[in-house]
Structure 1
Amino acid sequence: MVTLELAQIAFIDGDIAGNLAKVVGYIRKAQATSDIIIFPETCFSGFPTHENAPEYSQTLNGNIIQTLEREARAKGIAVLAGICEAQNGAYYNSAVFIDPEKGHIATYRKTHMWLTDQGLFTPGDQFISFDWRGIRIGLLICFDIEFPESGRANALLDADLLLVVNGNMDPYGETHRTAIKARAQENQFFAAFVNRVGQDSFGHQFAGGSCVVDPFGGTLCEAGREEMTLQIQIDPLKRREYQKDYHYLNERALPYQSEIEVDGEYSYLKIQ
């Protein structure tokens, strides 16, 4: 069993210190029974531009990661959050997973570039999954979930639970509500996304609607359009019960050609 806490928040573009402080506050206020608290895409900076990307972005050994590690350890909770990552002169739209004991243990870089990502972020070149407390977790970011291949990649990596950091705005709220249900149903795993609310500096109105769905695509919980947290306990290993009568991955007529690399508790699917 795992208890998720979805932290659907608003934040201020460019206010790195203020947004980090807000995330820290939510970690400290998290329910004592929560195992993982999840925040939206680029939640420390908002979406960057070519002009402000250097100040919006940070390396994976910078202050943001160090702070998340410290707060996760103090609270005894895992943290998943979206960050603008800088490495060797390139920028990535990334999701980082922080374990309360081990610290930063996984990074996923967004593979599908939406309009505001294009020409700014470097696409990630692989999907990942990793073992965490007896379950296998896969990660995606926002626009990724609109592509069936992204969900299928995580199924090939044997994910029990797909976690998505999201930054989806009007008029596309229903698009992601449909997409997360489809990815869960067609790959027979549990899935959750956590979206942003409020407005950004470009005037985008974010759609909220953070939710958790089961392997039939059924909604288990769903947020509205305001700042809020949702807590839910699920058993991701029960996805195997949804595969007793039929198993989409094994019964598909068109096999997915892929190269999966395994390194201990981590699995990677390279994009060809």
Structure 2
Amino acid sequence: MTRPVRVAAVAAHFGRDVERCVAKAEGIVAEARSRGVDLLVLPHAVLGGYLGDLRSPGPADLPPALPEDAGPVRRIAEVARGLTVCFGYTEAVAGGRCSTALCVGDGRVLGRHRKVHLTAGEEGSYAAGGSFTAFDTPAGRLGMLIDFDKTFPESARTLALDGAQVLCCPSAWPASVTDRAARLANDRQSRLFDLYDGARAAENQVVLVSANQTGVLGGLRFLGQAKVVGPGGDVLARTGGKGGMAVVDVDVAAEVARARRTLHHLRERRPGAYRGLLDELGAASPGRAGAVR
């Protein structure tokens, strides 16, 4: 017998003050615990915020970079006792920085992911990750994507093929910086954010938990729109553009099995027909230049 998992996706603002960010994250975790949440997904860049500019970011636009064993990171891992928590931050690595997501629980790291797909505004400031790998947690087998990663179907598909039944997606996803809309609901990036969430869940028949930043930092205005999406692409719970927590009980194994009962997308693939993709994979080097594993 499987059991429901109480899943929560958070929309919230996190700025440059790391101590205030940690206190806010601790408060959100405490609220989630009081509501019986098993799996909590926080936004990306919860420790010091995201970039302040995507067009030509300079040193003043960069968030602080922290090693994994830094005090603020450890504090979130410690407060996560009794539930599984995913969150993103800027990680200090040898020679630079990465956009990194950690999954923590009971004071330890259960899984980590370094953002593979960097936007044009990030490429000069961050090193890219080099892989997508699923991992086991008390809340089930999970995989993580960081915002722009979910634009690429191969990212989520790789995690689903690795057995992930839940995709956790911390984001710092802003409104369009080139074609601003008066209302966030009408913004082109708002539409794409929701589209990718539904598509990645439906095409892989998995549960997707999408968290995002809200508010304004520097020249960026963030969308919010945290949500939990079922294996059929249906939104099970969501927030709006402001801060909030989308909470829903999901029997993940049962819902995934039900979605795949008649049409099992992973099993029905025809890899031999994807000649261009296979040729590209065969020609690719083990990791892109500058990738950090």
2:231 counterpart of 1:215: yes
Q: Could you tell me how far apart the structure 1 residues matched to 2:235 and 2:10 are? A: 17
Aligned to 1:89: 95
2:181 counterpart of 1:179: no
Cα deviation for residue 146 of structure 1 reads 0.9
Cα deviation for residue 47 of structure 1 reads 2.1
Q: Which has the higher strand share?
A: 1
2:79 counterpart of 1:104: no
Q: Please point out which of 120, 135, 140 is paired with 1:115.
A: 120
Q: Could you tell me how far apart the structure 1 residues matched to 2:49 and 2:142 are? A: 25
Contact 2:5 2:139 in 1 (8 A): no
* SS class of match (1:192): strand
Contact 1:65 1:104 in 2 (8 A): no
Aligned to 1:232: 248
* SS class of match (2:23): helix
Q: Could you tell me how far apart the structure 1 residues matched to 2:248 and 2:287 are? A: 33
Cα deviation for residue 136 of structure 1 reads 1.0
Alpha-carbon displacement from aligned partner over 1:211-245 (angstroms, at most 9, x marks no partner):
11111111111111111112111111120221121
Alpha-carbon displacement from aligned partner over 1:27-78 (angstroms, at most 9, x marks no partner):
12224311122211112112245525886010001112211122112xx222
User: Radius of gyration: which is bigger?
Assistant: 2
Structure 2 letter corresponding to 1:99: G
Q: Could you tell me how far apart the structure 1 residues matched to 2:116 and 2:257 are? A: 28
Contact 1:47 1:116 in 2 (8 A): no
2:169 counterpart of 1:164: yes
Q: Could you tell me how far apart the structure 2 residues matched to 1:130 and 1:187 are? A: 17
TM superposition outliers: structure 1 runs of 4+ over 6 Å: none
Aligned to 1:63: 71
Aligned to 2:20: 18
Aligned to 2:83: 77
Aligned to 1:262: none
Contact 1:161 1:191 in 2 (8 A): yes
- Unaligned residue ranges in structure 2 (runs of 5+): 52-56, 176-186, 289-293
TM-score normalised per structure 2: 0.82
Cα deviation for residue 10 of structure 1 reads 1.2
Identical positions, percent = 25
Aligned to 1:196: 213
With 22-31 and 45-54 compared, the bigger mean Cα shift is at: 45-54
Alpha-carbon displacement from aligned partner over 1:81-133 (angstroms, at most 9, x marks no partner):
11100111221001011112x51121100111013211211110010111112
Contact 2:9 2:247 in 1 (8 A): yes
Aligned to 1:254: 271
Contact 1:8 1:197 in 2 (8 A): yes
Cα distance, 1:191–1:29 mapped onto 2, change above 3 Å: same
* SS class of match (1:112): coil
2:158 counterpart of 1:153: yes
Aligned to 2:178: none
Q: Could you tell me how far apart the structure 1 residues matched to 2:60 and 2:40 are? A: 28
TM-score normalised per structure 1: 0.88
Q: Could you tell me how far apart the structure 2 residues matched to 1:106 and 1:213 are? A: 21
Contact 2:214 2:241 in 1 (8 A): yes
Aligned to 1:265: none
Q: Could you tell me how far apart the structure 1 residues matched to 2:140 and 2:232 are? A: 19
The equivalences for 1:42-61 within 5 A come to: 42-48=45-51, 49-52=57-60, 56-61=64-69
- Unaligned residue ranges in structure 1 (runs of 5+): 260-269
Contact 2:50 2:172 in 1 (8 A): no
Contact 2:8 2:245 in 1 (8 A): yes
Cα distance, 1:106–1:199 mapped onto 2, change above 3 Å: same
Cα deviation for residue 134 of structure 1 reads 6.4
Cα distance, 1:240–1:229 mapped onto 2, change above 3 Å: same
Contact 1:40 1:195 in 2 (8 A): yes
